[in-house]
Structure 1
Amino acid sequence: MTIPQPKNEILLDTRGLPPPEPLELVLEALSNLQQHQCLRMLVDREPRPLYTILDGNNFHYETTTSADYRYELLIWHKS
């Protein structure tokens, strides 16, 4: 599993947006994500429904939580 380089990273900051906007925006961004790119999503709540979508659509992801309970996801295509 190889994470694409930071220069190929797209940032999607959805903090402060009410549901379902973060999910809608990330799905749109993923539909345009190229094989060599990764998407970094910043979000206020854990996007549990997104995990199922990612698992079913050939994506890898890593989730980290900050001290203020915000989430950061790094998403990329499975090779």
Structure 2
Amino acid sequence: MPTPQPSVGRVVHYVSYGTPGGEYTSQCRAAIITAVHGPFFVDLAVLNPEGMFFNCGVTHGEPRADGSYEGGSWHWPERV
């Protein structure tokens, strides 16, 4: 199956950073692509339980060895 290409309106996962003190952990959040700047660089509208925020210039992330993703990156939702 070919690698999907980002386009405006597609739903992706954004990985939150979490807080240094650990009050909030890094989490996958639903996000909608609002602009595409290349195959790995997009702007997002991120949907959180506490509200929505806009994040510009987000880089695509690859899974780490343990399957997690780096905070501040986006990736395609896992198929279930």
- What TM-score results when the alignment is normalised by the length of structure 1? 0.28
Where relative contact order (Cα < 8 A, 6+ residues apart) is larger, the structure is: 1
Report which of the two has the higher share of helix. 1
Larger Rg: 2
Higher strand share: 2
